Amino acid sequence: MGKLSDVQIRGWIKAGERFEQRGDGGGLYLRYRKEDATPRWLFRYRLAGQARILSMGSYGTLSLADARKTAEEMRARVALGFDPAGEKKDRKREAIAKIEAEKNAWTVAKLADEYFERVILGRWKHPNIVRSRIENDIKPVLGKKKAEDVRPRDIDEMLQIIIKRGAPTIANDVLRWCKRMFDFGIKRHVLEHNPAAAFDPSDAGGKEVARDRWLGREEIAALFQAMREKAGGAFSIENHYAVRLLLLLAVRKEELIAAPWREFDLEKGVWHLPEERTKTSVGIDIPLPPLALETLHELKRLAGGSAYVFPARKMQNRMIPHIDLNTLNAALSKHIKPKLKDVPNFTIHDFRRTARTHLAALGVDPFVAERCLNHKLKGVEGIYNRHDYFDERKKALEMWARLLSALEDGRADDNVLPLKKGIAAA
């Protein structure tokens, strides 16, 4: 049989004519078995007296002209002593090995998850704080990189992203956790050097100093006004209620965001915050003024039967049952703060200082105000005074709630709830 032609090949395909091989010359053959979807090109040759066959591809992807050109290149390689079929097997073996290596590689995301499960989960009181830093700050920048390939410049890039968004404290936290995470990786023989080792707080957020930021009446009113303007859209009503409760009850963000309904007695108006969920490891019964109860009842309706006050709004990594701790920060930064151009920057943690300052301005006794924030009393007073000031705290929070309600309604003038005589401490 002479040389093959495209007309012949298309005719065989159309007729469904099957065959083992038909030659084109120079070791190039075409095969069309029953199991072949399209005819396949083969290159036959001998090397060191042994017959060899190289599968070159299908007629659908390699034209007759291209097959002839490839076969000519293969003949030249065989003449020089190379084994094209053996080389193809080696390339395939290397590709499979590379895929397997990539599949089993320790990425930063995998290392972070392993570190969280083995070191943080079950040992730290508030593991979701670490989880938040991993998911929101470390993984987006470094997650897909192999842990062994991370360089100091990658750490610096990640820290600069956080610093530029105005979160120096978070930058310090992320650096701290990265150092520990990569040290953990060294122990697991995942990498040999810690790429974050050379960094200190001056490269991240700097030395942390005590903040003194608090929101005045006009600023609180402006905050609520901005949230009202975004209501029903980008800033959810649940976010609005979270801000209201954080200001009103002066609790820490993680204490409220991760709160399950079982801690609340809405009939008696008390939130039983257990010691294992407080920063100070001291449980406290928090009196709930009418504004807080009204807000919580509405949140319970919105929760739709969830066990949590702020249930997760979408599928999240590790199925966290409540919203991520960074959700409210992100919503405020993206949708509310841009509307508060005349209001100096503030953080959610500043809400506690805001409540404490306004409680003092309303004449609340310092002992009562400190216990409203679940602060331990200092010195001898803290050692011997075991009175929890529940009734006094209830009156103080009710007064603070009336002021907040007025500010939320847009009445920020100084005539709203003027300063009063202090609530007695005993």
pLDDT tens for 188-229 read 899 999 999 999 888 887 665 556 889 999 999 999 999 998
Q: Give the separation between CA 310 and CA 313, rounded to whole angstroms.
A: 8
- Phi, psi at residue 103, to the nearest 5°? -65, -40
Question: Tokens 């006794």 appear where?
Answer: 365
Mark the ranges of the chain whose per-residue pLDDT is less than 70.
Answer: 1-2, 99-104, 206-211, 314-319, 377-387, 412-426
Q: Give the separation between CA 117 and CA 364, rounded to whole angstroms.
A: 44
Q: Could you tell me if 347 and 213 are in contact, meaning their C-beta atoms sit under 8 angstroms apart?
A: yes
Q: What is the DSSP letter of 30?
A: E
**Whole-structure pTM over 0.85, yes or no?**
no
Q: Give the pLDDT score at 426.
A: 36
Terminal CA-to-CA distance of the chain, rounded, Å? 113
Q: What is the pLDDT of residues 22-46, one digit of tens each?
A: 999 999 999 999 999 999 999 999 9
Q: Could you tell me if 10 and 30 are in contact, meaning their C-beta atoms sit under 8 angstroms apart?
A: no
Mind listing the domains of the chain with CATH numbers? 6-103 (3.30.160.390), 108-203 (1.10.150.130), 217-408 (1.10.443.10)
Angle separating helix axes 237-249 and 350-361, nearest 10 degrees: 50
Q: Give the pLDDT score at 206.
A: 65
Question: Tokens 């980008």 appear where?
Answer: 234
Q: Give the pLDDT score at 235.
A: 87
